[in-house]
Amino acid sequence: MTAAGHYQPNLRDIFFNLFEVLDIERSSLGKGPFTTLDGDGAREALTGLCDFVQEHFAPAFVDGDKHGVAFDGAGNVTLPASFTKALEAYYKDGWNELELPESLGGYGAPPSVCWSAFELMAGSNASITFYILGNFHAKVIEELGTESQKQRYLSNILERHWGGTMVLTEPDAGSDVGAGTTKARHVQGDEYLLEGVKRFITNGDFDQPENIVHMVLARPEGHGPGTKGLSMFIVPKYWVGEDGKLGERNGAFVTNIEHKMGIKASATCELTLGATQPCRGLLVGEVHEGIKQMFHIIEYARMGVGTKSMATLSTAYLNALAYTRLRKQGADLAQAANKAAPRVEIIRHPDVRRMLMLQKAFAEGLRALVLYTAHIQDQVMIAGGYGSEAAKSLDKKNDLLLPLVKGYSSEKVYELLGVSLQCFGGSGYCQDYPIEQYIRDQKIDSLYEGTTHIQALDLFFRKVARDRGETLQALVKEIQATAAGLPDALAGEKAALEQAVNEVGAIFMGMMGKLGQSPYHVGLHGNRILFALAELIIGWRLLVNAQVALGKRDAAPERERAFYDGKVAAARFFCKEVLPGIGASRRIIEKGDLGLMELSDDAF
């Protein structure tokens, strides 16, 4: 498989998770706000989208990397023609309607289906997929905006396919969002004038839509320091009047674009507000709750980044698998002494098989983690939505899982893409195959929307310590219930899962004790804690998959049995090769000290 036709989807495994494991036909479809779409409709939509991205998104993958975006120095960014063509086809065929609720004229698909769709898009071409954020902005404005703001923006975004960005980061603040200095001066009503410079703004400008809606964090005059002093503003590229008509160019201009190692056709911009002409914005909902409001977008972006990483590993693995089935090199190891032994496909070599199963177990395990999290989001919406009392425990579970989806997936996939490349040998290092671009395009995932360590600190302090471990303990009970119900055929795996539960429990208990000495202990071992919990949950979900597969395998058609055998094999491999590492992490964490923090800076 060459880079030009790179994308290898795994629709079969998506359907397995959705319909055989999570059983969304019973648990999600037809319930709450998801009454429009049934199982057949969901299958048809995802199958059609899979065909669409292979025809329109995937062919532009290499072109985007080769040509990138063009910046004219006057605030305007131009996309490669292949990207513009793909985006126009996406909207023309109505694929943007899949994730929209019925209230906005969409299919009303649940998050489990929407994130499955996102996997297909991001796996085929992540750079194009990022240009579709405007669709999500419509949902944010519908939920948080005033009636006037909805009248100005909703129909425009949805019918005219406007772009959208999230604007947080500043050059001197970086990940410390609360240190931002962009200021907002009140004019009248909900209108403000903004001044400041923002950096690393994904798709801060592009020429495909007639307008772009920036969601900007800024500090109104008189408001205090930190994140609590920030408010969120709707800042359009072109001003939108109260009648919804486009007005003059607004004072939000791209003043530079970054030249990057990957996702080169996703414009990463410096956005300057109010420097050359007034930059007007509307206070979202007429309330000063900026960071709380922005987290609607941040959490969507974090889920998207984790899904993007998983999708990249999945297609990388399937590309590597295809190559190893065709490439002949060397004799079978058992015949190595026989100089006349025939050359075999490299999939027959033990180390290659090990590398393939390592990729398979994680690609399918991360998909299981992503779609389990998405299914929790289904249930949140069915129970009344985020913030409702009935959905409170589900909401907390989703919050606990998001740092794992984003932080662990982005870190582990970068490591495993090196394994994918290794399967190709020297050919993988060349641009004849897509693996080298996958590595360059994916590395950003561990850096933006909160670095891995930010995810680790969020997990420990906000998601576990803040509620005294209540949500984590409830999740552990689910894992223990699964272990108790595993069949005899998975007895060894049951023991491995139970041991991993004990190790993770000891890690958190031990760290809570060390926290009394110094928070530096969490700083030094936070990533390891995040990884241990993620691997426990992935192992759990793989064993849930294996249990389902064992129950279906014997009655399945012959062509399906290998698929089910593969699910069991992946779970067994993970339990033998990955879960025991949690015990090693526990011992390292327990023996950890503060020597690094006490060391002189000059010693580095």
SS (H, E, C) 345-385: EHHHCHHHHHHHHHHHHHHHHHHHHHHHHHHHHHHHHHCCC
Could you tell me the maximum CA-CA distance found in the chain, to the nearest angstrom?
86
CATH placement of domain 163-288: 2.40.110.10
HSE-up of residue 512 (Cα within 13 Å, Cβ side): 11
Which residue, among 123, 89, 109, has the nearest Cα to 45 in the 3D structure? 109
User: Alpha-carbon distance 551 to 486, whole Å?
Assistant: 11
**Which amino acids are annotated catalytic?**
449
Q: Which two tokens stand for residue 603?
A: 């010693």
CB 183 within 8 A of CB 194: yes
User: Alpha-carbon distance 194 to 239, whole Å?
Assistant: 14
The list of the chain residues with pLDDT below 70 reads 1-4
Q: Phi and psi of 430, rounded to 5°?
A: -100, 160
**Could you tell me which CATH class the domain 3-144 is placed in?**
mainly alpha
Looking at residue 532, its pLDDT comes to 98
What's the whole-model pTM score?
0.97
List C-alpha distances in Å: 391 to 18, 32, 377: 21, 12, 10
Looking at residue 2, its pLDDT comes to 59
User: Alpha-carbon distance 258 to 254, whole Å?
Assistant: 11
Write the DSSP symbol of residue 336: T
H or E, element range at 253: strand 252-257
Looking at residue 3, its pLDDT comes to 62
Buried b (16+ CB within 10 A) or exposed e, 173-191: beeebeebebbbeeeeebe
- Can you spell out the DSSP letters for 100-165? S-GGGTS----HHHHHHHHHHHHHHHHHHHGGGTHHHHHHHHHHHS-HHHHHHHHHHHHHHT-EEE
CB 7 within 8 A of CB 61: yes
Q: Phi and psi of 454, rounded to 5°?
A: -60, -40
H or E, element range at 58: none
Q: Write out pLDDT tens, residues 53-62.
A: 999 999 999 9
Burial of 222 (0-12, 13-18, 19+ CB in 10 A): exposed
Residue ranges matching CATH 2.40.110.10 in the chain:
163-288
Dihedral sign (CA 272, 275, 281, 286):
positive
User: Alpha-carbon distance 447 to 522, whole Å?
Assistant: 20
CB 57 within 8 A of CB 121: yes
User: Alpha-carbon distance 29 to 36, whole Å?
Assistant: 8
Q: Which two tokens stand for residue 231?
A: 């408010």
CB 456 within 8 A of CB 526: yes
User: Alpha-carbon distance 122 to 357, whole Å?
Assistant: 23
Looking at residue 357, its pLDDT comes to 98
What residue type is assigned to position 564 of the chain? Y
Looking at residue 498, its pLDDT comes to 98
Write the DSSP symbol of residue 387: T
What residue type is assigned to position 203 of the chain? N
Looking at residue 387, its pLDDT comes to 87
Residue ranges matching CATH 1.10.540.10 in the chain:
3-144
